[in-house]
């Protein structure tokens, strides 16, 4: 690890910085007005980044738990927030459905269709709040990893095993790629990144890159740009891996390291602290807030759909306004119901 990666209140400083940038990229990627080329760079690594970080932060005190206890921990930390934010999103969708300019796909959806998404957990089923798929995926990824770690004790062997399973799965399901409901393949892909994060924690804490970080960044950044452009548009929750699933894995890992070395130049301030500590709340709520903003623009300004206009300033407006909302929401959640946003009482 490089100098400055010390712990702050029991937290890795560089991980907090990466989470802050990562969640900001998630918001930017989901807001209107983003150019397709810039979206390629963001989608190349932003979701894998959080899977890697989740694996990196996996504590040994969780690994010694039995499966039932681990299931309970994961249920409380991931599925309880998932159910709560789904219900809020579903309720908002029910109240505004008749006023919204819905796509042809959603026009025929009933209230029951929308509610059924809570137990299906796929992107197409979670149309009231598509970002919630990540909570379901991370729950299964964490649980499967915990179970398999009871059988295979070597972290490297476990990572290689998941990598092999991924390569075999891509070959078997090659004709089924680019479909949103390939949950098994999405979980397997997430397991590769998650287990990579676990291995990374094992070895990165022993290494010092401080002398070579600028040189490594100068090498990795152009490689990332080249690979991202080569692989093209992709989206993990749609099982869309771009030109090649193998390049997808590589560009995501390279993107992780590019951000790892970039954040060394980022000061740790209040903004970084807020974004990193409230990343779960931001992840779960930003797309619903985007719907509020869209409705506001439609009612008061007659803007039918900012997502069709492609103006960059809409992206800035959506992200900024959402962060203001979330700032005040975080005060309430962290004070009264911290368990809903991943905070401790």
Between helix 279-301 and helix 270-277 the angle, nearest 10°, is: 100
Distances (CA, A) of 116 to 122, 124, 285, 308, 341: 10, 11, 19, 28, 23
Rounded Cα distance between 47 and 43, Å, is 7
Sorted by sequence, the CB contacts under 8 Å of residue 279 that are 6+ apart come out as: 19, 20, 22, 23
Rounded Cα distance between 340 and 80, Å, is 7
Rounded Cα distance between 85 and 191, Å, is 24
List, for the chain, all residue ranges whose pLDDT scores fall below the cut of 50: 3-4, 103-105, 345
**Residues 56, 15: contact at Cβ < 8 Å?**
yes
Rounded Cα distance between 276 and 290, Å, is 20
Rounded Cα distance between 271 and 334, Å, is 16
Beta-bridge partners for 7: 12
Instruction: State the pLDDT at residue 105.
Output: 45
| Biggest distance spanned by C-alpha atoms of the chain | 59
**Residues 318, 290: contact at Cβ < 8 Å?**
yes
DSSP SS3 for 235: strand
Q: How far is CA 104 from the centre of its chain?
A: 27
Name the H helices within the chain: 13-30, 36-43, 46-56, 60-63, 67-74, 80-96, 104-107, 111-120, 133-149, 155-172, 183-204, 213-231, 245-262, 270-277, 279-301, 306-309, 312-336
**Residues 306, 297: contact at Cβ < 8 Å?**
yes
Sorted by sequence, the CB contacts under 8 Å of residue 135 that are 6+ apart come out as: 78, 79, 81, 82, 283, 284
Between helix 133-149 and helix 279-301 the angle, nearest 10°, is: 170
Rounded Cα distance between 322 and 155, Å, is 39
In 3D space, the residue among 133, 127, 145, 140 whose CA is nearest the CA of residue 236 turns out to be 133
And the tokens for 313?
């300033």
Instruction: State the pLDDT at residue 3.
Output: 46
Rounded Cα distance between 214 and 223, Å, is 14
* pTM for this prediction: 0.91
Instruction: State the pLDDT at residue 107.
Output: 59
């Amino acid at each position: 690890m490089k100098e400055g990666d010390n712990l702050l209140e029991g937290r890795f400083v560089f991980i907090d910085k990466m989470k802050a940038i990562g969640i900001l990229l998630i918001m930017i990627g989901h807001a209107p007005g983003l150019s397709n080329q810039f979206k390629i760079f963001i989608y190349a690594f932003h979701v894998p980044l959080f899977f890697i970080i989740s694996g990196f932060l996996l504590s040994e005190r969780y690994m010694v738990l039995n499966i039932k206890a681990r299931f309970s921990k994961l249920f409380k930390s991931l599925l309880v927030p998932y159910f709560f934010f789904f219900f809020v999103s579903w309720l908002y969708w029910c109240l505004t459905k008749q006023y919204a300019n819905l796509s042809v796909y959603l026009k025929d959806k009933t209230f029951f269709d929308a509610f059924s998404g809570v137990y299906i957990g796929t992107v197409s089923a979670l149309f009231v709040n598509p970002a919630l798929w990540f909570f379901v995926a991370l729950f299964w990824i964490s649980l499967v990893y915990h179970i398999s770690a009871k059988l295979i004790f070597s972290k490297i062997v476990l990572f290689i095993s998941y990598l092999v399973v991924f390569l075999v799965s891509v070959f078997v399901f090659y004709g089924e790629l680019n479909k949103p409901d390939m949950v098994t393949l999405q979980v397997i892909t997430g397991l590769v990144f998650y287990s990579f994060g676990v291995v990374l924690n094992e070895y990165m804490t022993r290494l010092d890159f401080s002398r070579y970080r600028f040189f490594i960044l100068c090498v990795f950044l152009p490689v990332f740009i080249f690979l991202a452009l080569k692989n093209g548009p992709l989206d993990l929750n749609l099982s869309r891996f771009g030109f090649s699933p193998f390049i997808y894995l590589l560009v995501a890992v390279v993107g992780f390291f590019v951000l790892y070395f970039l954040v060394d130049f980022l000061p740790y301030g209040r903004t970084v602290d807020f974004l990193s500590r409230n990343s779960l709340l931001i992840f779960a709520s930003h797309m619903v807030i985007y719907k509020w903003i869209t409705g506001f623009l439609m009612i008061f300004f007659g803007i039918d759909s900012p997502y069709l206009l492609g103006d960059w300033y809409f992206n800035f407006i959506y992200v900024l306004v959402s962060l203001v909302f979330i700032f005040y929401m975080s005060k309430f959640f962290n004070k009264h119901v911290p368990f809903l946003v991943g905070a401790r009482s």
